[in-house]
Amino acid sequence: MKTLKRIFIHGGVTTPNELKHIIQLAKALNLNSIHFGSRQDILLPVKTKQEHLFKTYFPEYKQDIEENHKFQNIVSSYVAADILPQTSWLRATTYLYIHEDFKYNPTLKINLVDPQQNLVPIYNGQLNFIASKTEDYWYLNLNLPGWKKDIDYPVLVYTWNIAKIAKAIEQEYQNSSNINELYNRVNQLVDTNNKTITEPLSIPYRPFPYYEGMNKMGIQQYWLGLYWRNNQYDLKFLEEFCDFCMDYKISRICITPWKSFIVKGIDKEYKFMLEKFLGQRGINIRHSSLELNWHLPVANKEALKLKRFIVKSFDQNDISTYGLTLGYHERKSETSYFTSLIIEKNPAPTQVQDFENIPTYNLLYGKNFNPNTKSYITYAQYVEQIELPGLLMELSQQYFAQLDNSIENIAKPSSNIKNKTTQEVYQCSECFTIYDPALGDVTANIAPNTAFEQLPESYTCHLCEAPKSEFKSIVLQD
């Protein structure tokens, strides 16, 4: 019997050497590949009798083998820093410092996110710390287990209080009946440097980015996004890739919530060597955007098969889903969505267990197709697989039709075209020298504002000495 065991990569940030260590563990488990999880963790299919190998090889890693998924990985938008729009004061190193501040294993899902980027979900955690415009201060959105709805923390949280406040909330939320009571309990436990919220959180909506391939990062560097459609990352390739990174001074590998990874800080002089490295191993780095915008459960063959069916239908019909994201879930009472469109599989009817059941699905979309919305609208219910592509195509067309209403509109630039003016001048037919009446001709002692007709008949071109009769009237347009 196999189960997926997690290795926590805090914030999705690891080094090539740390990833090689994980690869050695995977090899000890007789695996050929590893999976990436939606919370920027690494998942290994482990047989029950192999679980002791985790403790042998990874005593220092925070894992949840025996705790029944008690602990959670911290998710961050570090992966998007410097390659997507970002809050001006928020640096990539800030995420790393905050992770270092966590001296305990969180039991709640914690997100550290920049609202300006759109690669890492904003609201799919239970404690969502969201950067504000005020330097070193964060909004906090709470979606706590057992609470009826998500709610916002009443103050801005200081960067260096995040770990302490998160720990205090974990200790006290079950003993509190409302946000005010929880807030007071936290303040009794933690000496904080909070700030009053002076303006509500505003999260701009941007189409989902294309995050694969080799891309410019500043002037002298590049970043690389790599994606495997089956989320089975080959160990041999990863090990060789880690060696390449260490040889060419690439220090960080970042896992995305979309089960892919991004490498930043590739020096311009090494770009060709990396492209050659990938090409020699037949690595495709330009999948269709129809592939990249899906979020599927790990190691779910049925979900992967459904995705392939729908993507093939989109491709055959030349449908664009650029900017949209799609997710697959089995219907549950408490499910956290973070994609624009949701395909929700219904449970099989219990009354007809002796008969083969045709799966049915519900189709939902986020309000204004925004993946960071907290409101989802049902578009269709109890439809069969064959109906899904057509319905999704309808929704994609609706998405593009309403974009002007859901995105911050950029006003058309005002016209800066001036009224055209005309000016009559005289041009020499021999050398094309211009006589401008407004300027006159200094070399011939002709004063400004002297009309051409007022020039003496002896006037000649000061450049080629052609006579006045060789000058022709022309009109200049400004």
CATH value at residue 346: 3.30.413.10
List CB contacts of 471: < 8 A, sequence separation 6 or more: 426, 427, 428, 429, 435, 452, 461
Report the alpha-carbon distance of residue 244 to residue 143 in Å, rounded.
41
Task: Give the three-state DSSP class for 127.
Answer: strand
pLDDT at position 6: 87
List CB contacts of 378: < 8 A, sequence separation 6 or more: 362, 363, 364
Q: Is residue 428's pLDDT more than 80?
A: yes
CB neighbour class for 321 (10 Å; exposed up to 12, middle 13-18, buried from 19):
buried
Q: For residue 327, give its domain range.
A: 291-406
pTM over 0.85: no
* Same domain membership, residue 309 and residue 393: yes
Report the alpha-carbon distance of residue 281 to residue 116 in Å, rounded.
35
Q: Average pLDDT in the 162-180 region?
A: 94
Which of 356, 375, 406 is the last residue in one of the domains? 406
66 within some domain: no
- For 110, how many CA atoms within 13 A lie in the half-sphere containing its CB? 27
pLDDT at position 121: 93
pLDDT tier, 423 (very low <50, low <70, confident <90, very high otherwise): confident
Report the alpha-carbon distance of residue 371 to residue 207 in Å, rounded.
10
Residue 43 amino acid letter: L
Longest dimension (CA), the chain: 114
54 within some domain: no
* Same domain membership, residue 273 and residue 295: no
Per-position b or e across 281-316, b if 16+ CB within 10 A of its CB: eeeeeebebbebbbbbbbeeeebbebbeebbebbee
Q: What is the pLDDT of residues 133-142, one digit of tens each?
A: 999 999 999 9
**CATH number of the domain residue 219 falls in:** 3.90.480.10
Task: Give the three-state DSSP class for 8.
Answer: coil
List CB contacts of 63: < 8 A, sequence separation 6 or more: 5, 6, 7, 8, 54, 71
Closest CA to 76 of 237, 254, 240: 254
Q: Average pLDDT in the 432-443 region?
A: 84
* Same domain membership, residue 386 and residue 325: yes
* Same domain membership, residue 351 and residue 302: yes
Q: Which tokens go with 373?
A: 């919305």
390 within some domain: yes
- Strand 137-142 relative to strand 155-158: parallel, antiparallel, unpaired? antiparallel
Report the alpha-carbon distance of residue 62 to residue 74 in Å, rounded.
11
Q: Check: CB of residue 470 under 8 Å from CB of residue 428.
A: yes
Q: Average pLDDT in the 307-320 region?
A: 92
List CB contacts of 228: < 8 A, sequence separation 6 or more: 260
pLDDT at position 411: 57
Q: What is the pLDDT of residues 324-377, one digit of tens each?
A: 999 999 877 556 778 999 999 998 876 656 667 789 999 999 988 998 887 899
Say which range, 92-101, 270-279, 346-355, has the weakest mean pLDDT.
346-355
> Please, what is the Cα angle at 406 between 401 and 410, to 5 degrees?
95
Q: Is residue 243's pLDDT more than 70?
A: yes
* Same domain membership, residue 236 and residue 332: no
pLDDT at position 89: 96
* Same domain membership, residue 219 and residue 268: yes
